[in-house]
Structure 1
Amino acid sequence: MLTVTSGHRSDVGRVRHHNEDSVLVGERLWAVADGMGGHAAGDTASAMVIDGLRPLDDRPALRPGDLVAALHDVNERILAHGHANPAVRGLGSTVTGVAVVSVGGADHWAVFNVGDSRVYRYADGTLARATVDHSEAEELILEGVITPEQARTHRARNIVTRSLGQPDAPQVDLWLLPQTPGERFLVCSDGLNGELDDPVIHDILAASPDPGLAAEALVEAAIRGGGRDNITAIVVNVEGDDPELGTTNPRPKEVPA
């Protein structure tokens, strides 16, 4: 029997005056939305994303396609809001998260992403990114033009290539993973990983087994690192013992959106 526990924290940071991040901390779905478009617009867009996902948390047999459909619907709602309110036209949001979905009658994790917020997976003492950033900096890394270290200060680091609120239906990255006892997920806005490199994130998770304390420690470290953006972290722990769930280092399966 598996038990899932979680903890979270969101902070405005040291520079911004408003927190445009919104979070969903549910029973079967955990997500972070990072709004774009300035105060009011960014707040509104990220809140609309979370409001659109919230009903899915109550579904006992959530399917991967339900997540994609919900995000497509949210995209249309954000567009409609912008058209109806010209002062905030162009608002948008990233979104990333993990959800318990039913595949073949068994529970799996669905990791989903649109934009440059991230999901990390921590298991067996190893931290790995479970999502790919949709940003110009990430594209330059994949092309071998810059290194991940250079990307942290590159002028393209804040240019997002996918988001909700665009005229075309968003391409949602979605991967399926078997549920594994002992694994942990970190769902965060780019305000966290923009201040903390992966080794620091690894060390904080390793030192903080409690999900609530881990989220607090991660956000506090990002604030000390500069806090130049809003900072949000959700830490999800998977506990229990089921030998039929497979290995602790499963290979993710990408699902076409």
Structure 2
Amino acid sequence: MTETTTSTRTVPIAGGALELSWAEATHTGRRREINQDAVLAAYPLFVVADGMGGHVGGEIASSSAIERLRAVTAKGDVGPATIEKALARAVNDIGAHPEATDEGTGTTVTGVFLDTDDDEPTWVTLNIGDSRVYLFRDGALAQITTDHSVVQELIAAGRLSPEEAENHPYGNVITRAVGPTDGVEPDYVRLDVVDGDRFVVCSDGLTKELTDYGILHFLLQNADPADAVDAMLEASLENGGRDNISIIVLDVARRGSSPTTD
């Protein structure tokens, strides 16, 4: 397994600075032959893509999405418009491989980016599919993104409890993806930048093996992002590693003035 390391960056803002630290890992797991996940962790964008499709279709889909987003990050112009243009280009990339892809080919795209266009910076989460962004704040863990899945729709309609959803036969069926038959407009959620916040961006390979309480446990036990990623990955593999597993842990320390969480 590749050694996980923590990267850091200081971002000047009005009245102070943000000190960001993050680590990422992706693993094939114990039951899959190839890894159809792909990860981008490059300031200001932190994204996980979980590909799906026969042959190498899922791998093509996730890598296309990540490489198109990487190009946007390199230009330093990350926002909804540029993200959606990048994902549209990824759809074209996927369609250019008809020999390896089919109608079921696509990828989730889920993550968070730092928006510094205004005087007060904000985080913006983005989501297509059932990969997730969690926020650890004030000792509690909350799922920020909403899964685009059949099971989530049944929960929202009151036809299924979260406990029943854990082993539902349609647990892997998602209702939105980046692919030839879907759109490329993510859901967005904007969040204040608060000192001490920690984000977890992950594919469902993690959440199949760890409950939210398990994720919280490893965040509380590991202050360093690399250590937290390694601990969650190891536990996921020990619990079965039934799918590809991708994890990003992103921490923020705010120096200077900071909004309250009230």
TM-score (norm 1): 0.90
What SS is found at the alignment partner of 2:96?
Answer: helix
What SS is found at the alignment partner of 1:72?
Answer: helix
**1:56 Cα offset (Å):** 2.2
Q: How does 1:246-257 map to 2 (within 5 A)?
A: 246-248=259-261
What SS is found at the alignment partner of 1:241?
Answer: strand
Q: How does 1:66-215 map to 2 (within 5 A)?
A: 66-78=82-94, 80-82=95-97, 85-90=98-103, 91-215=105-229
**Partner in structure 1 of residue 9 of structure 2:** none
Unaligned runs of 5+ in 1: 250-257
Distance of aligned partners of 1:188 and 1:94 in 2 relative to their CA distance in 1, 3 Å threshold: same
Name the structure with the higher helix share.
1
**1:20 Cα offset (Å):** 0.6
Residues in 2 aligned to 1:77 and 1:61: alpha-carbon distance in whole angstroms? 21
**1:17 Cα offset (Å):** 1.0
Deviations 1:20-61 (A, max 9, x none): 100001121111100101342111111001001002223445
Distance of aligned partners of 1:64 and 1:88 in 2 relative to their CA distance in 1, 3 Å threshold: closer
Deviations 1:47-85 (A, max 9, x none): 00100100222344533332233223323332x224xx2
Unaligned runs of 5+ in 2: 1-16
Aligned pairs, how many? 245
**Partner in structure 1 of residue 235 of structure 2:** 221
Deviates more, 1:192-201 or 1:33-42: 33-42
**1:103 Cα offset (Å):** 4.2
What is the Cα-based RMSD across aligned positions, in Å? 1.6
Q: Any runs of at least 4 consecutive aligned residues in structure 1 with deviations exceeding 4 A, and if so which?
A: none
What SS is found at the alignment partner of 2:48?
Answer: strand
Distance of aligned partners of 1:188 and 1:135 in 2 relative to their CA distance in 1, 3 Å threshold: same
What SS is found at the alignment partner of 1:38?
Answer: coil
Deviations 1:134-180 (A, max 9, x none): 00001111111111111110011100100010334233101111211
Residues in 1 aligned to 2:58 and 2:187: alpha-carbon distance in whole angstroms? 22
Q: Residue type of the partner of 1:230?
A: N
Deviations 1:93-132 (A, max 9, x none): 1110111123434422110000000000001111000100
Residues in 2 aligned to 1:4 and 1:165: alpha-carbon distance in whole angstroms? 32
Deviations 1:199-254 (A, max 9, x none): 111111111110011011111111111110001100001013232x31236xxxxx
TM-score (norm 2): 0.88
Residues in 2 aligned to 1:5 and 1:176: alpha-carbon distance in whole angstroms? 20
**Partner in structure 2 of residue 37 of structure 1:** 53
% identity of equivalent residues? 39
The one of 39, 52, 55 equivalent to 2:68 is 52
